[in-house]
């Protein structure tokens, strides 16, 4: 097993070359494509939001239809959960239709749920930071992350329902940019390490 030590500004990391992809060129190309797509998404956050919501609505609808077909076609007469599965499938279908019929309203609802989730996670992270400080552990990073979550939740709530048009697209685009950078940096590290073997 070929192992190399890489100096990291934060720690010493042992990298196992067998665990890294061999075709770094494909990883680099995919990373660059994700960087480009994410950067374009940052410019067109409303379009990305609506596309994401429509995709989610389509997945709900298809999943509901498949679940309904399965629940109806199953040949088990003694299956007591059959009615429950049919009702859940119908709810999925209804939710998918509602999302597809009005993606703007659906994005507003999803954004409000996301804001509530961020508020909850932020409060948990701050509580964790306070517990860490009481125990003498490192507490600053979890507390700062919790504060950032709460700030995002306040921004989402204060500009709601307009924030429903851009928040989801912004999050998806930022995720693509971050993932793209991760792939590019991983590919370059693999190339450098493979050349030193």
Nearest-angstrom CA–CA distance, 59 and 177 = 24
Question: Is the backbone peptide bond immediately before 155 cis, with ω within 30 degrees of 0?
Answer: no
Whole-angstrom distance, CA of residue 114 vs CA of residue 164: 10
pLDDT for 22 equals: 66
Output the pLDDT for position 196: 55
Q: Which pair of tokens denotes residue 32?
A: 């660059």
What predicted TM-score, i.e. pTM, was given to this entire model?
A: 0.62
Walk along the chain (197 residues) and give the pLDDT tens digit of each residue.
Answer: 344 444 444 443 444 555 566 677 787 888 899 889 888 888 888 888 888 889 989 998 999 999 888 887 876 666 666 777 888 889 999 989 998 999 888 888 888 888 888 888 888 888 888 887 777 777 777 788 888 888 888 888 888 887 777 878 888 888 888 888 888 887 887 777 766 54
Q: Which pLDDT belongs to residue 11?
A: 42
Per-residue confidence (pLDDT) for residue 62, from 0 to 100: 93
pLDDT of residue 63: 92
């Amino acid at each position: 097993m070929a192992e190399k030590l890489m100096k990291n500004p934060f720690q010493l990391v042992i990298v196992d070359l067998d665990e890294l992809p061999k075709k770094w060129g494909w990883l680099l190309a995919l990373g660059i494509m994700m960087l480009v797509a994410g950067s374009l998404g940052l410019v067109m956050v409303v379009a990305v939001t609506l596309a994401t919501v429509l995709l989610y609505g389509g997945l709900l609808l298809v999943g509901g239809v498949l679940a309904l077909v399965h629940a109806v076609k199953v040949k088990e007469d003694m299956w007591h959960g059959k009615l429950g599965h049919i009702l859940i499938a119908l709810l999925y279908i209804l939710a998918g239709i509602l999302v597809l019929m009005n993606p703007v309203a659906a994005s507003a609802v999803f954004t409000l749920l996301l804001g509530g989730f961020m508020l909850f996670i932020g409060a948990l992270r701050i509580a964790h930071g306070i517990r860490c400080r009481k125990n003498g552990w490192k507490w600053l990073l979890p507390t700062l992350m919790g504060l950032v979550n709460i700030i995002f939740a306040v921004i989402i709530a204060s500009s709601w329902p307009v924030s429903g048009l851009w928040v989801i697209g912004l999050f998806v685009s930022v995720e693509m940019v971050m993932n793209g950078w991760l792939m590019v940096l991983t590919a370059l590290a693999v190339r450098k390490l493979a050349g030193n073997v």
